[in-house]
Amino acid sequence: MDNHIMVGADVHEKSMMLKIAVGRGGARKRSFINDPEGRRAMISHLKESAHEIGAERISLVYEASSLGFRLYDELTEAGIHCAVVAPTKIVRSMKDRRRKTDERDAELLLELLRGHVLAGNDLPRVWAPDAATRDDREIVRARLDVAEKLTGVKAQARTLLKRQPLEKPSGLGQGWTKAYRAWLRGLVRGPGPLPYGARRALESLLRQMRGLEEEIERLDDEVAALSEQAAYAKPARELMQVKGVGLHTAMVYLTEMGSLKRFGNRKQIGAYLGLVPSAHESGQSGERKGHITHHGPWRVRRVLCQAVWARIRSHRPTQADYERLVARNPKHKKIAVVAMMRRLAVQLWHVGLAA
C-alpha cells in the first residue's frame, strides 16, 4: 500500500481542496476550480503523480452533497477509485467542529480513507445510483416538491383568513372540499367581509393553487409514464397491491431505494431509511433508546407516513395493529406510527424483490 495514492477532497460548488498522500507518507495540499476544465486538470495531475512513482492505485473520497455524483462519474470513468461518504456518519471531534476549514475537512477525509485502506476501518460510503436511476428520480422528486409548495400555499390561505374578522360557514367541512373552495372564490369576487388588501392577497393565493394543481396533474402523467417503463412496470404494479400504496408512493419508494437487491435483511431497510431509534450507552448505565436517526431518504419516510395513515383509516387489520401499539404507550402515538412505517417499508421491500 506504500505506492497507493490517497486523496481527501473537500468539494464545493466552485472549488475543490485536496489533501494528497502516498501510503503512510505526509500529505500535500492542492486546490482546483470545480468546473469541467478544473476537474480534468485534477484528474490529469493525479494520474501524472501516479505515473511518476509507479502507483498502482488512486483512491479519492469526498462528502455527499447537493452537487450530486458528477465528480464520482468522471473519476470512475478515468479509472480512479472514488467513494462518496455520508457527512452525518463522519465522527468529528469538538475541536474539528470549532476549527472548520476546507483544508482541515480535506485532511479529515484523507485520514478516513487511509484508515479504511491501511487498517480496514469502516468507510461510511453512500450508494451511488446509476445515471438512469438519478434521472428517474428527478421526475418523481419534482412531483413531490410541487405538492409541498401546494401545501404551503394552502397554509398561507388559511393563515390569512384567520387574521380576518369572519367566520367560516358551517357545513363546509374541514378539508379543501368543493364547497370550501367555492366559498373562497366568493370572498374575492367583490365587496364583502374581506377588506381590499386581503381579497387581493387571497385571490393571488388561489391563482397559485390552481397553477400548482395543474402542474401536479402534468407531473402525475409523467410519473405514470415512467411507471410503465420496463424497470418499474412490474414492481410498481405489485407495490400498488398493498393497501394504502398508490402510484406516487410506489414510485418514490422504487426510485429512492434503487436496487432492492443491495439490502440483505429487514434491519438494513430500517437503518437505511432512518426508522430505527438512536442509542446512547455510557459506563454502567444501560443502553437508552432515543428518537429515530432520520438517516437516509426523507422522501421515502414522507410517503410511508402518508401510506400508513391511509391504511389505518381504511384497513381494519392495520387499524387494529395501530391500536394495539398505541395501547402500549398511549402518550407517544408517534412511536406506533413509526413502527408501522418501518413494517410497511420492509413489506414493500419483500414485494419489490419478488416482482
pLDDT at 270: 95
Domain of residue 29, residue span: 4-119
Domain boundary among 96, 119, 142: 119
Q: How many domains does the chain have?
A: 3
Residue for grid cell 426508522? 275
pLDDT per residue as tens digits for the range 48-68:
999 999 998 999 999 999 999
Is residue 319 over pLDDT 60? yes
- The answer on 60 and 109 residing in a single domain is yes
Tell me, what CATH number does 102's domain have?
3.30.420.40
pLDDT per position as a tens digit, 179-220? 999 999 999 987 788 999 999 999 999 999 999 999 999 999
Lowest mean per-residue pLDDT among 36-45, 148-157, 187-196, 199-208: 187-196
List of E strands, 206-321: 277-280, 288-292
Residue-averaged pLDDT of the chain: 92
Q: Do 240 and 291 sit in the same domain of this protein?
A: yes
Residue 95 lies in a domain: yes
> What 3-state class would DSSP assign to 69?
coil
Predicted local distance difference test score (pLDDT) of residue 170 = 84
pLDDT digits (tens, 9 = 90+) for 343-353: 999 999 999 99
The DSSP result for 128-193, as a single string, is: ---HHHHHHHHHHHHHHHHHHHHHHHHHHHHHHHHTSS--PPTTS-SS--HHHHHHHHHHHHSSSS
Does residue 203 sit in the same domain as residue 238? Answer: no
Does 25 reside within a domain? yes
22 contacts 5 by C-beta, under 8 angstroms:
yes
Residue 125 lies in a domain: no
Helix axes 196-227, 247-257, angle to 10 degrees: 70
Please give the grid coordinates belonging to residue 269. 431497510
pLDDT digits (tens, 9 = 90+) for 277-291: 876 665 555 555 678
Whether residues 348 and 280 share a domain: the answer is yes
**Is 126 a member of any domain?**
no
Domain end point (choices 67, 88, 119): 119
pLDDT at site 172: 83
Give the pLDDT band (50/70/90) at residue 175.
confident
Residues 238 and 350 in one domain: yes
Segment 68-117, tens digit of pLDDT: 999 999 999 999 999 999 998 888 777 767 778 999 999 999 999 999 99
